[in-house]
Structure 1
């Protein structure tokens, strides 16, 4: 088991919460000078930490505990009716893993997605510097999944390979392809990829019951939530 007792953690200053209006947020993050190995990254993920660019962090708010780490146990996951329709609807797509998304084609898709879907968020307006810093490949564990329709790029999913599964870091897609539910399809693909590699979990980040944008995660059943340092299963 990886020893985490000597890891230095730092706290951010309180700032406005991106998910819950009127709340203040504080995060703790791993010392940027810490050497990160795939084993350490996996151990931290199992304890509820996430990655943003090269930073590994976890919410640590003084007055709120709404952010709950969530993961899907892929061996017992079963698609519901809506997910089956999404899966079947997108069988005309070609999915491949590429080594890099550092190209104008990828960035332009990202910029269109942020402008259309997250113009009220911290990532707007998008920039190439912010894009490369946020979705950079770190520690040799990152897989980039391209989703193409007749060679046209319509979605990208960024996933990190853990010891026990994959962490779904981020997905962006063509906002004109709303009917395809590409965000859902990207998660379903990562579930299938994880199961095919005989791994156990897809990490979804934080589930926030009060936040409409985060509620979709509870559609994946069973879902495991990290509560009081224990992963508990929701059926």
Structure 2
């Protein structure tokens, strides 16, 4: 099925498939391609409207009877770490951050496999081989970085790779596309540390937001995002403060989402006339 606007890009809809977040639901995505000189302004504009990037595709949930998935971002200027989060920062103070061009390495893939095998062995990415992993990291038409976190060796040897985050640099923030970390270091809360450090990176760069992906009320996998203050979610075409997470419902309703054609018509596209060659 294809739906188009008067100008590029073209938008498509995936076939329904089992939802990875809420049992018994079916998910469907609205998506478009990222390519050429318009890739960066399109990614910037659609990220502000609840879209996420995966390689050279931008997508947003568009399920027939469910609107539980809400794009979430942190307001950097307003964020204040909790006592628990300050302890996590202190616990991981020895980690050394290194931001690199989006290039996959064997060390990254080994950590990625260990992370999936321990945390998401039954997930949709469980069967990814090294070539698919390299494509996830390297196939990006926009400004992206691979942020690595190295753990110093206590005996003076080479540092170990503890965590990795594939990060996009938007015109208004950082988008955490995908992160993974040493699952054996559970007490270090490395996943939380990565987010806290990205807030600091954004603050240093003068960027107002850190985009976290989708928060899904009722999904234990996504509950950690609500533990950060100054989070806002994209609801009915506008960003609003998350407020009390318990006030959101994941119940289904046949009128939860607009028809696809209406959704496409409501998307605000950037003026890319000056970027085409």
* TM-score bracket for this pair, using the shorter chain length: over 0.9
Q: 1:155 aligns with which of 163, 185, 197?
A: 163
Q: State the Cα deviation string for residues 91-133 of structure 1 (Å, max 9, x = none).
A: 0111111124422111111111111110011111331122122
Match of 1:21 in 2: 23
Match of 2:213 in 1: 205
Distance 1:71 1:143 in 2: 19
Alpha-carbon distance, 1:29 to partner: 0.7
Q: Which structure 1 residue ranges, 4+ long, deviate > 6 Å from structure 2?
A: none
On the 8 A contact 2:173/2:208 being kept in 1, the answer is yes
Matched, 1:168 2:168: no
Alpha-carbon distance, 1:14 to partner: 0.7
Match of 1:125 in 2: 127
Q: State the Cα deviation string for residues 127-183 of structure 1 (Å, max 9, x = none).
A: 112212223351241111111111111111111000001001111111111111111
Gaps of 5+ in 1: none
Match of 1:104 in 2: 106
SS class of match (1:176): coil
On the 8 A contact 1:78/1:221 being kept in 2, the answer is yes
Question: Which stretch has the larger CA shift, 122-131 or 77-86?
Answer: 122-131
Q: 1:44 to 1:52 in 2, by over 3 A?
A: same
SS class of match (1:83): helix
Distance 2:160 2:227 in 1: 29
Distance 2:16 2:76 in 1: 36
If the length of structure 2 is used for normalisation, what is the TM-score?
Answer: 0.80
Matched, 1:193 2:201: yes
Pairwise CA RMSD = 1.8
Distance 1:204 1:76 in 2: 16
Total equivalences in the alignment: 233
Q: 1:196 to 1:27 in 2, by over 3 A?
A: same
Gaps of 5+ in 2: 153-158, 244-277
Distance 1:136 1:26 in 2: 26
On the 8 A contact 1:52/1:135 being kept in 2, the answer is no
Match of 2:233 in 1: 225
Match of 1:78 in 2: 80
On the 8 A contact 1:7/1:34 being kept in 2, the answer is no
On the 8 A contact 2:104/2:137 being kept in 1, the answer is no
Greater radius of gyration (CA): 2
On the 8 A contact 1:115/1:125 being kept in 2, the answer is no
If the length of structure 1 is used for normalisation, what is the TM-score?
Answer: 0.94
On the 8 A contact 1:36/1:139 being kept in 2, the answer is no
Q: 1:55 to 1:47 in 2, by over 3 A?
A: same
Distance 2:92 2:59 in 1: 34
